[in-house]
Amino acid sequence: MATSSKVRVRFAPSPTGFLHIGGARTALFNWLYARHTGGSFVLRIEDTDPSRNTPQALEKLLEGLEWLGLDWDEGPRRDGSSVGDYGPYFQSQRYQLYQECLERLLSGGHAYEENGAIKFRMPRQPMIVEDRVCGRIFFEPQPDPDFVIRRQDGSFVFHLVNVVDDLLMDISHVIRGEDHLSNTPKHLALFAALGATPPVYAHLPLILNEDGSKMSKRDVGASLEYYIEEGYLPEALRNYLCLLGWSLGENREIFPIEEAIARFDLTRIHRANARLDRKKLYWMNGEYMRASSVEKLLPHASQWLEKRKLIGPQTDRHYLASVVSLIKDKVKTGNELCDWAIPFFVEDFPFDETAVKTILTPTGLEMLRRLLPELQRVGDFSSQALEAHFRSLATQWGTKLAALVHPVRVAVTGRSVGPSLFPMLEVLGRDRVTQRIRRALEQLSPA
């Protein structure tokens, strides 16, 4: 095994669309191992299929990795440049390197031409794969084991370019999905034919759907984009991905990324396939929302709210922070935060029909009429003072506090559920609250 100072791992996606959740987990585990060992995390782009690879898809891929917080030490940058001494980092720019290695294989008798294609001469004896996760695995030779490494049209096949890139980029550890395990004997044979020592292989367990079925690209939650669109926090998703095939080894599921870096090791990756439990991730994101400070959450909340066109550049930042502080402990995703925030930024909101029928009854509307002058003349419009005043009125009027609270909530938000009423009234302010109660009385009172 390479020493920690020489550890070089890579993530080599094909830019054909948004990052798959399995690819995100693979990138994370490579990144964790590089950071744990003080090694290098290399981003390499497998873009040899021009019909499927687009600049837009590459941009989405880079955005996704950056959103997850997985910074890479070598590879392409968003501005079109690259960093590192082992480039080019796009396979489409490395054709000559593949051709040179192909000629070495041909001259050494390890490859031959057949019907215009070039095939690799696979050894006829069993192959042994020493895998850091799967253990020692024996592969018996196939009846016709030789395989194409350059097609008739001159394009190179994945097996050759993958090995050449790992070789020339001095990759020490290949950490990838278990679906590539069956390719490893071919890759070991290619390394041997090129006279090179292969990297250490570690194949990660597959990520399955919650019911144990194989995950497809069309399944809900299969794409990183789904979690971004739903308003998940990157640190929450990153934490959850750590649990898909690895753990701290103790009964604790929420932990900072710094602890994962400090304790990550290939020997602790699980052998069994992982199952994507979106309910657990949903819960975990809520825990991160609650634990996050308003200051830390505000940039995320601003993006979510701007995307929903609920706020703009002119929105008062102090008011926005107050709204986020009021809501963040009650919701689990950014989309839910936006739903709860609507009454704080929209005046002409609709009234929920069920809430109107059950709460803004003639009795409820009469309560609003009695409360309106009280709210106009109360001196202190703070949460504590409002609650004290409401309790005093309930006692004076011989009714329960809920008989006052529920009609006001529906009048000022259109809904029967939401943030705690009195802090919400304070944030909205006296003028907006009384204006909304008048609106409710005008629109909902019988003609």
Taking alpha carbons only, the member of 41, 30, 34 closest to residue 4 is 34
Which of 217, 296, 309, 400 is catalytic? The answer is: 217
Kindly list the distances between the CA atom of residue 297 and the CA atoms of 140, 231, 290, in Å, as whole numbers in the listed order: 54, 11, 10
Query: Under 8 Å CB-to-CB from 168, ≥6 apart: which residues?
Result: 86, 97
The token pair at 126 is 């069993």
User: What span, in angstroms and rounded, lies between the C-alpha atoms of 82 and 74?
Assistant: 7
Q: Length of the chain in residues, anyone?
A: 447
- What is the arrangement of strands in the sheet containing 8-11, beginning at the earlier edge strand? 40-43, 8-11, 173-177, 200-204, 127-131, 135-139
Positive or negative torsion for Cα 242, 245, 249, 251: positive
Q: Please, what's the b/e burial string for 96-122 (b: 16 or more CB within 10 A of its CB; e: otherwise)?
A: ebbeebbeebeeeebbeeeeebbbbbb
Is 217 assigned a catalytic role? Answer: yes
Nearest-5° Cα angle at 310, 303 to 330: 75
217 is in an annotated binding site: yes
Could you give the residue numbers annotated as active site? 217
Give the residue numbers of the binding site for ATP: 217
Give the residue numbers of the binding site: 217
